[in-house]
Amino acid sequence: MVLRRVSLLACAVALTLSGAACTADPAEPTPTGSAQPSATTGQEVRKLTFGTFGTEEEVEAMRRVVDAFNATSTTRKVTLVSWPDHEAALLEILAGDAPDVFLSSRIDLGELVEAEALRPVSLLLDERGVDFGDRFSRDAVDAFAFSDELQCMAYSVSPMVIYYNDELVDFDRMERRELPVPTVDDEGRRLRWNLEQFQAAAEFASRRPGVRGVWIDPTLQGLSPFIHSGGGEVFDDDENPTSLAFSEEGTREALAAALEVLRDPAVTPSRAQLARRSPVQMFKRGRLAMIAGFRDLVPELRATPDLPFDVIAMPSIDGSATVGDISGLCISAETEHVGDAADFIAYAVSDAAVETVTSTGYIVPANTQVAASDTFLDENREPEHALVFNASIRHMEVPPFIADRTALTEAVGPLLARLVTAPGVLDLESATEQIDIASRSVLAPEEETTEAPEDDAEE
């Protein structure tokens, strides 16, 4: 679902916030759970848990946020727990072991709502003065609106962008050679481009011995920005998909345009090269000029000596589009400390707390004040044009909830790989039909009555 498509729902949330805060009963009791006397005040200490996921650096930064919050009171204490990723978090939460507050991926929102695992945060955060207006990305906040309620508070957002080696992709040299290059804005920045310019950059970089121009993962995630940008659709329905939509005319046309670049053996790594090193490893060694990625790639690239890199938006075909994920801070429906949980979220999304995590380099903050600050943009560190991440948020497409994403990946993954990497002439019509048929075995198995045809995608 496109983020901007839920703006009407966000308006409903805003109306709820503006009116309900005045009518809420201030005397509504907050349940209390296990507690013990404070050593300094003798008052009961209310204990909460906060669950997060991410790299060691991100978890450690969150720990500092927790410590800072705990320092503000002697009568409540938050303990941090962590998971390796959002999938592990989801499993534990759905198993009934949810922390009082937890970080969640927007991808998992449908399942969490269906399981009644969340307590909406709209009124709770409004009562604590959290500004849902200009201080937070409207698109990110909209993404957590469901059934006229804000289910979780948007925390970070990471759109897919193109990382490029700015020595291998030298736009000034390309322009002197009269090659197509991205337009310069009023401040002399090249932030957006089209498919023709993207292809020219890939071909330009590939002229160097041992260098390939570009690699895009042949996955649903990797191909989706090109499909949406070309006016196609990835799924047959934004809410309850029963099939991929690769065989639809608009999607085929978008793929045909993108695959002219992505299937070009002169600009993409060979199978032998990919068998030796991953695309990221090739990029870090200066052997690959461009890759698509998210913000969490920045620390790894910064740690690579003598690697010049910058970012630019995903190339447009007919319009701007990208994909990505959004994380939010949620309150468990089972918490016995609703007020304290809301207090913690209100603190965690404050400028000072968000800066603590943003400084690690892994996230794009939904807090627009921090996203516009030097903590995030910092033009003295690569990438120079980090504002590309902020600008790309409004063009993000959020995929529909899929109950078994792993099964879908396994069903269509090999077909997508062949679509992009198989040598020879591509029969796009046959290949896209096979992809859609394979997807139905996962998305609508009870409706699947037709066996997939023999693999004849290539001639």
On whether residue 310 sits in a domain, the answer given is no
The last residue of one of the domains, among 363, 388, 413, is 388
On whether residue 306 sits in a domain, the answer given is no
The answer to whether residues 208 and 175 belong to one domain is yes
On whether residue 152 sits in a domain, the answer given is yes
Whether 151 shows a pLDDT value over 50: the answer reads yes
On whether residue 302 sits in a domain, the answer given is no
Residue 38 has a pLDDT of 52
The answer to whether residues 270 and 331 belong to one domain is no
The answer to whether residues 237 and 110 belong to one domain is no
Whether 388 shows a pLDDT value over 90: the answer reads yes
Q: Chain-wide mean pLDDT for the chain?
A: 89
pLDDT digits (tens, 9 = 90+) for 402-431: 878 889 999 999 999 999 999 988 999 999
On whether residue 393 sits in a domain, the answer given is no
The answer to whether residues 109 and 90 belong to one domain is yes
Please give the DSSP secondary-structure letter assigned to residue 70: H
Whether 18 shows a pLDDT value over 80: the answer reads no
The answer to whether residues 189 and 125 belong to one domain is no
The answer to whether residues 224 and 237 belong to one domain is yes
Whether 443 shows a pLDDT value over 60: the answer reads yes
CA-CA distance, 290 to 389, in Å (whole number)?
A: 16
- The DSSP element (H or E) to which 391 belongs, if any, is helix 387-392
Q: Which CATH number characterizes residue 173's domain?
A: 3.40.190.10
pLDDT digits (tens, 9 = 90+) for 187-241: 999 999 999 999 999 999 999 999 999 999 999 999 999 999 999 999 999 889 9
Cis preceding-peptide flag for 383 (omega within 30 of 0): yes
By three-state DSSP, how is residue 119 classified? strand
Average pLDDT over residues 315-336: 97
The answer to whether residues 148 and 167 belong to one domain is no
The answer to whether residues 196 and 240 belong to one domain is yes
Q: Which domain holds residue 329?
A: 3-157+325-388
The last residue of one of the domains, among 339, 363, 388, is 388
On whether residue 304 sits in a domain, the answer given is no
On whether residue 316 sits in a domain, the answer given is no
Average pLDDT over residues 66-90: 95
Average pLDDT over residues 353-362: 97
On whether residue 230 sits in a domain, the answer given is yes
Q: Hunting for tokens 């461009």 — which residue is that?
A: 290
Residue 229 has a pLDDT of 98
The answer to whether residues 266 and 369 belong to one domain is no
Average pLDDT over residues 6-17: 43
Taking CA atoms, 242 is separated from 107, 219, 399, 400, 408, in Å, by 17, 18, 13, 11, 11
Residue 148 has a pLDDT of 84
The answer to whether residues 31 and 145 belong to one domain is yes
Taking CA atoms, 109 is separated from 62, 143, 277, in Å, by 21, 9, 35
Pick 449 or 426 by higher pLDDT. 426
The answer to whether residues 361 and 219 belong to one domain is no
CA-CA distance, 290 to 215, in Å (whole number)?
A: 7
User: Taking Cα atoms as reference points, which of 4, 392, 371 lies closest to residue 225?
Assistant: 392
> Using an 8 Å Cβ cutoff, are 326 and 140 in contact?
yes
Whether 452 shows a pLDDT value over 90: the answer reads no
Number of domains in the chain: 2
Average pLDDT over residues 439-458: 67
pLDDT digits (tens, 9 = 90+) for 32-75: 334 455 555 557 899 999 999 999 999 999 999 999 999 998 99
Residue 41 has a pLDDT of 54
The answer to whether residues 199 and 268 belong to one domain is yes
Residue 146 has a pLDDT of 86
Whether 143 shows a pLDDT value over 70: the answer reads yes
